[in-house]
Amino acid sequence: MNEAIIHVITVLGVLFVVLNIAAGLIWVERRLLALWQDRYGPNRVGPFGLLQVAADTVKLFFKEDWIPPFADKAVFVLAPAIVMLTALMSFTMIPVAPGIQISDLNIGLLFVLGMSSLGVYSVVLGGWASDNKYALLGGLRAAAQMLSYEVFMGLSLMGVVLLAGSFRLSAIVDAQRHMWFVVPQFLGFVLFMIAGVAETRRLPFDIPEAESELVAGFHSEYSGMKFGMFFVGEYVGVVLISVLITVLFFGGWLGPGLVPIAWFLIKVFAFIGLFILLRASLPRPRFDQLMSWGWKLMLPLALCNLVVTGAIVMATRR
Amino acid sequence: MKIFVDNRPFDVHAGQSLLQACLTLGFDLPYFCWHPAMGSVGACRQCAVKQYKDEADKRGRIVMSCMTPVTEDLRISVKDAEVSAFRAGVIEGLMISHPHDCPVCDEGGECHLQDMTVMTGHNYRRYRFNKRTFRNQYLGPFVNHEMNRCIQCYRCVRYYREYTGGRDLDVFALRNLAYFGRYEDGVLENEFAGNLVEICPTGVFTDKTLKHHYTRKWDLQMAPSVCVHCALGCNTTAGERYGSLRRIVNRYNGEVNGYFLCDRGRFGYEFVNHKDRIRQPLARKNGRLRPVTRSEALSQLRSILSGAKLAGIASPRASLEANFVLRALVGPERFYAGVSEAQYRLTAAIIELLKTGPAHTPSLREIERSDAVLILGEDVTNVAPRMALALRQSVRQAAFRLAEKLHIPVWLDHPVREAAQDLRSPLFVAATHGTKLDDVAKEAFHAAPLEIARLGFAVAHAIDASAPEPANLSEEMRALASRIAEALKGASKPLVVSGTSLNSQEVVDAAANVAWALCRIGKPASLSFTLPECNSMGLALMGAKPFVEGMEAVRNGEADSLVVLENDLYRRTSRENVDALLATAQHVIVLDLLANPTTAKAEVVLPAGSFAEAEGTLVSSEGRAQRLFRVYAPGGDVQESWRWLRDMMAEAGRQEATAWETFDDVLGSTAQAIPAIHGAVGAAPPATFRLAGAKIPREPHRYSGRTAMLANISVSEPKPPEDADSPLSYTMEGYPEQPPPALTPYFWAPGWNSIQSVNAFQEEIAGPLRGGDPGVRLIEPRPGNGYRSCVSEAFVARGEAWLLAPLYHIFGSEELSPWAPAVSELAPQTYVALRPDDASRLGAEEGQEVEVQWNGTAHRLPVKFRADLPAGVAGLPVGLPGTECAGLPVWAKISKPL
Amino acid sequence: MFSILRTLWNILLHSFRPRVTIQYPDEKPYLAPRYRGRIILSRDPDGGERCVACYLCAVACPVDCISLQATEDEHGRRYPDFFRINFSRCIFCGYCEEACPTYAIQLTPDFEICEYDRQNLVYEKEDLLISGPGKYPDYSFWRVAGVQIGGKAKGESEREDAPADVRNLLP
């Protein structure tokens, strides 16, 4: 009984924190981008412009909930729900701190990767259901990009799994007590970082959206809260990838002095900051460049990493 | 014939000038003094090209292309640097004294001088000294004069003096001070002076009526239209801005009006904007006509129409379609033509003559090329003005023939004139009084209508002895007849012109006999009849019953209510007849544009769209069915007559009306129901026509002010009105390609903003438009048949009474144009014309009032002397307010009042 | 690869740069005299309306937000009967000013023309006309144009000869 209540509180707590961080990121991102572009960003609504998020949310809620008459209605409504659903599902596996974890599956990492693969559907279906040439092109690009980067995203993590000897995320964190995996698996970290950016469709890999070419890509026809779901879903994705990097390569909650959860949050926010810095700095590559990097550079590197790691693990174990 | 332009070979037709050839091929070659209708004089030195002896010749020499005939293997360069510099230098010289006033010049934006200056690349004024200036003149209500802008191309005087035969515009002074104007301020006398607006390459002569509501060409919403001020069907382009009609310009149609319009057609348009326009339905309440809403009017009509026995009075100035829907509303058996009895009989007779006789009805271009003309009983200049201009050109055929013999190209204007001197092809005028064509006529014969008919019969007899001969011909008339007969027999394209103005069956028959006699002896004779109104021919082809039967039907109760379509009945028959008719009828429903005596007596008046607000098909006196299009969507309750009549049918519960949604539906039904006008469907492409999938824009691509012109009413711009009735749209979006000629809303070509851009629309310069000149001929001759036998008694002058012959005035006699302020300014006050000797016999001075009695009514009219009237004949102007003139000529008693 | 890292570093360094943003309503920016803001109609040095209603601004306007109607006074001086600019459409491109042959239409450094009701952004001639010559204090179109207006007969414009005597035939 007691355990069940704790469980429910954990679930609600994680949900609350994740969604609030995601929403807050909207403000954080705008302020950080402004900072790096020598501007102020939103600074008028509330202290430091903090209420901007609330204002935007209210605005989104009051926008007309419009479904284009030519759209495939059921799929059109479903698509933004998928993006939120898959991203939030992944959080069930995340070990935030000892004891703060919703579910500690022994194949936790595979579950997370699987959810991330399903996330592709939201974009593809959203683009398809809109029945708009820009949306369709965006959806197609998303499908190609996310499938390609999915492949070596998984492979790049296999080194970590080999070192930890488990798919269980809490076990992976525990395995880093002596050394964060970023040291032995530096290549894996870089590859995962790149793939993570591509998976969340963030700049410089926002090719499915590509507002300078495709209006707004797959979500051209979306407005109101359905657009809001895509919007927040993207930030949830950013949080998720940052969390995964923290957990897989930077020792999760581990760290001296502070309480575990503090270490966890510090690390996560550092990576979120990195995401935003990437957006502020790098231009968008061409679609064909993106694909050829994925298949011709990243995938071979990921395989090499796996082979070398495997070889070393085998050698040291023996 | 092959020529080389900048080393590229081109095929061109022989017999034209190099300038014509280059323009036909699409080269942008500037010119000023040359005009396609007036030939070359080589005065402006602007159309220079470089001519090479042969392929090896690299040096070449500069020649004026307008003065150089095309020859086989001619080699020229248009682009050569030296000749380009030459042209730029010439225009710099021409521009030395051109004032700095394009922003306030009405020509700006459609100025040939602007186009040519840009074309030659002269873009910077180096001349820094004083400019010469001139004083302007008052030239009447039509044409504005601003002499500073003149570049001395001489086109105006060549056109005015040589082409139209005007005498009162000339060039004065000398060297760089050549001045083009009248010897003193005054109204330009010629009826075609308005064409100076288009002839002048810059803004010396501009449209004064446009000046009162000035709009640039690029801001006008334009549509192809047809002139409604006489029966010739000249093609016009009408332009609108801010809901009012702004101007009319010529729309080239090679077969009809060519490059020119008459002043009535060009300046008569302002009736559309008149404050007395009926703009909302009126209904009679307590004895007074009051404005009502559309739905009130329709509900009142519903109660009138239920159970009423309707008679419809059709109109010769309404379109075929409007008349047809009226016919459908009232039924063919009670569909009456609203024209005078004489007009009704004559038009029917004319159609029969043209359809069953061997002589064909010529287009204006064919009239221009006739080499012998006999005019029987028509004052063409005042009745069908544009035809008079064509007839004036026809007398030059002899000169052209001589030039060919002397190997002078016919387009070399001055050599041809020098060679010909006063040589003219024969033109004979027989009329009740002197006409403006008498100065080019070989002989002019002034006599009473019957005598004119007798002369005609005598000529026919002199051509072919089997034609009937009038009895008791005087010796002079016989001699005159044989002179005319000889001239006509000697011609290769003889023409007989007559018409309905004298209301004389005999004159019309005589004209037919002359033409048929010519056909009988193997000449391709043409026979042209002038008609009074723009759709007189069309209405007659529809086979309506005569108006008198309509009046009879109302009198004996066969019909109890009248629907009058665009018709002032008081112009058709005597006042008592109309008063009686309108009093007998229980209900009178009138559709019209302007308040007139008939609308004043109506029970319901519906606001009909004018030619600028309605689409329709008109049949010209040639028998050519032509389409005119709405220029703008009329605001408020104004709508096309056919739509009102259709709505009335719907109110009366008539099913067939529901099928008539668009103009094409009505046109289709019209053509199907009346075989005589079946061809009218082909006058223009249907509303489904698209150019590269798009409608044809009425607005030029530089149309301005879209988002501001209605912003004072509401800042949210309304959707532009849609036009389901035609392939034209009320927008500026469309495919930038030339539409079919019947749908060309305006002429414009890249680099050619002036009206001269028509060059780019012609198959070859001054030839037909690309895709064929618009219009479908409905009447073709049938060979064979005998003569009209009516030979009348000689006219005998009576001492105590005068035969009142109708006198027509280009400005005033027609119904609609005097509502235009500029035209009404030139319309005369009503008068009676008397020979000076008759007047002195009566003891009346010029300007004094006399009492004139005819048809039992007496009128007091001022006397005007006309020495050119024959003895025993007096003249009465037609159509002016204050007199009844239906049924002229009549015998009248004239006496000096006490 | 290195360049990407360098870019990231350089961008990161911008955290310590001063902001270029001007906090507008609290702090007013400097606007050059040729700034393209609210459009006005100016008057010539004698105080008459400069606009001669030539329609060139209207045709130059890429959003077609200018409409006017020309008219003339009894002496032939042309002026706009009405002159309307729909500022809710205006993009302040300045083409109208470029096209104007008389320096009548000018853009000013005033850009604070927001309204709660869009209809109030439709300016008529009375709203546009100012009382001075604006940026070009000395220019007067009518002094150089070769047309006659009230107070200036033929031949009295700058660099013009007296009207020719057409009856004089001396060479």
Number of domains within chain A = 1
pLDDT of B277 higher than 90? yes
**pLDDT over 70 (residue B75):** yes
Domain region containing A231 = 2-316
Of the ranges A59-63, A181-185, B783-787, the best mean pLDDT one: A59-63
Average pLDDT over residues B35-39: 93
Weakest mean pLDDT among B19-33, B53-67, B391-405, B884-898: B884-898
Give the neighbours of chain B: at least 3 Cβ pairs within 8 Å: C
Restricting to B residues 611-630, those with a Cβ less than 8 Å away from any Cβ of C are none
pLDDT at A142 (0 to 100): 85
Domains annotated on chain C, with CATH: 29-128 (3.30.70.3270)
CA–CA min distance C24, chain B (Å): 29
Q: Which of C59, C118, C164 lies closest to B704 in CB terms?
A: C59
Average pLDDT score over residue span B255-276 = 95
Residues of B in contact with C167 (CB under 8 A): 172-173
B100/C160 touch (CB, cutoff 8 Å), yes or no: no
The model's confidence at residue A83, banded by pLDDT at 50, 70 and 90, is confident
Interchain CB distance below 8 Å, B133 and C171: no
DSSP assignment letter at B721: P
- Taking the CA of residue A40 and the nearest CA in chain C, the distance in Å comes to 7
How far apart CA B544 and CA B567 sit, in angstroms, is 15
| Residue of chain A nearest C21, judged by CA positions | A39
Q: How far apart are CA A196 and CA A191, in angstroms?
A: 8
Asked if residues B247 and B212 have their Cβ atoms less than 8 Å apart, the reply is no
Name the residue among C61, C85, C88 with its Cβ closest to that of B704: C61
Closest-approach residue (CA) in chain C for A275: C8
Give residue B745's pLDDT. Answer: 95
Nearest chain B residue (CA) to C164 = B134
Rg (CA), chain B: 28
Segment A121-166, tens digit of pLDDT: 888 888 888 888 888 888 888 888 888 888 888 888 888 888 888 8
Q: Mutate which of B133, B219, B732 to disrupt the C interface (most C C-beta within 10 Å)?
A: B133
C166 contact residues in B (CB cutoff 8 A): 134, 172-173, 177, 179, 181
**The residue type at B410:** V
Position C58 confidence tier, pLDDT thresholds 50, 70, 90: very high
**C and B touch per CB criterion (3+ pairs under 8 A):** yes
* Nearest residue to B28 (alpha-carbon basis) of B737, B759, B700: B759
Confidence of residue A27 (pLDDT cuts 50, 70, 90): confident
Nearest to B540 by CA among B673, B311, B323, B348: B348
Distance, in angstroms, between A256 CA and closest chain C CA? 27
| Residue of A37, A187, A205 to mutate, testing the C interface (most C Cβ within 10 Å of its Cβ) | A37
What's the rounded mean pLDDT across residues A282-294? 85
What's the order of all strands across the beta sheet hosting C122-123?
Answer: C66-72, C78-86, C122-123
Pairing of strands B179-181, B832-834: unpaired
Compute the average pLDDT of residues A275-302.
Answer: 86
pLDDT in tens, B189-245: 999 999 999 999 999 999 999 999 999 999 999 999 999 999 999 999 999 999 999
What secondary structure does DSSP assign to A224-266, as a single string? HHHHHHHHHHHHHHHHHHHHHHHHHHS-TT--SSS-HHHHHHH
Please give the average per-residue pLDDT across B277-305, as a whole number. Answer: 92
Q: Output A294 or B113, whichever has higher pLDDT.
A: B113
Using one digit for the tens of pLDDT, what is the confidence trace for C79-97? 999 999 999 999 999 999 9
> Do you find a cis peptide bond into A204, omega within 30 degrees of 0?
yes
Q: Which residues of C touch B103 (CB under 8 A)?
A: 52, 54, 56, 101-102, 141, 145
Parallel, antiparallel, or unpaired: how do β-strands B205-207 and B179-181 relate? unpaired
pLDDT band for position B324 (cuts 50, 70, 90): very high
**pLDDT tens-digit map of A222-236:** 888 888 888 888 888
The pLDDT confidence band at residue B663, using thresholds 50, 70 and 90, is very high
CB contact under 8 A, C19 and A40: yes
The nearest alpha carbon in chain C to B108 belongs to C54
| Residue B898 confidence (pLDDT) | 66
Mark B194-207 as b/e (b = at least 16 C-beta within 10 Å).
bbbbbbbbbbbbbb
Q: Do C12 and A36 touch (CB under 8 A)?
A: yes
User: Does C63 contact chain A (CB < 8 Å)?
Assistant: no
At residue A24, the pLDDT reads 83
Tens digits of per-residue pLDDT, A107-116?
888 888 888 8
CA dihedral B646, B648, B649, B650 (to 10 degrees): 90
Bridge partner residues of B628 (DSSP): B616
More confident of the two residues A4 and B362: B362
Name the residue among C8, C15, C20 with its Cβ closest to that of A35.
C15
Mean pLDDT check: name the lowest of A85-89, A98-102, B59-63, C21-25. Answer: A98-102
* Average pLDDT, rounded, for chain B: 93
Q: How many other C-beta atoms lie within 10 A of the C-beta of residue A38? A: 13
**pLDDT value of position C168:** 84
CA A239/CA A237 separation, integer angstroms = 5
Measured N-to-C along each axis, helices B505-520 and B475-489 cross at an angle, to the nearest 10 degrees, of 50
Counting other chains too, the contacts that B576-585 makes at CB distance below 8 Å and 24 or more residues apart are B577/B551, B580/B551, B580/B555, B581/B551, B581/B554, B581/B555, B584/B554, B584/B555, B585/B311, B585/B554, B585/B559, B585/B560, B585/B561
pLDDT value of residue B703: 95
pLDDT of residue B407: 93
**pLDDT for B548-580, tens place per residue?**
999 999 999 999 999 999 999 999 998 889 999
pLDDT in tens, A205-263: 877 777 777 777 777 888 888 888 888 888 888 888 888 888 888 887 777 777 888 88
Is C11–A36 a contact, with Cβ atoms under 8 angstroms apart? Answer: yes
Record: contact B173-C144, CB cut-off 8 A: no
Which residues numbered 37-56 in B keep a CB inside 8 Å of some CB on C? Answer: none
Question: Would you say B627 and B677 are in contact if contact means Cβ atoms under 8 Å apart?
Answer: no
Question: pTM of the full predicted structure?
Answer: 0.83
On the question of pLDDT at B604 being above 70, the answer is: yes
CA B282 to chain centroid, in Å, comes to: 32
Interface test with B, best of C54, C75, C88 (most B CBs within 10 A): C54
Q: How far apart are CA C105 and CA C109, in angstroms?
A: 14
| Interface test mutation site (partner B, options C69, C142, C158, max chain B beta carbons within 10 A) | C69
Give the span between the Cα atoms of C118 and C113, in whole angstroms: 11
What is residue A190's predicted lDDT score, i.e. its pLDDT?
A: 87
What's the confidence (pLDDT) of residue A219? 79
pLDDT at B516 over 70: yes
| Long-range contacts at C7-11 (CB < 8 A, ≥ 24 apart) | C7/A281, C7/A282, C8/A277, C8/A278, C8/A281, C8/A282, C10/A281, C11/A36, C11/A277, C11/A280, C11/A281
Best mutation site among C10, C13, C21 for testing chain A: the one with the most A CBs within 10 Å?
C21
Name the most confidently modeled range: A98-107, B136-145, C3-12. B136-145
What residue of A is the nearest CA neighbor of C13? Answer: A36
Query: What was the pLDDT predicted at A318?
Result: 63
pLDDT tens sequence across B757-790: 999 999 999 999 999 999 999 999 988 768 887 7
Distance from C113 to chain A by nearest Cα, in Å?
Answer: 22
Q: What is the pLDDT of residue A1?
A: 58
pLDDT of residue A125: 87
pLDDT above 70 for B533:
yes
Which residues are bridge partners to B527 per DSSP? B496
Give the model's pLDDT for residue B190.
95
Average pLDDT over residues B664-678: 94
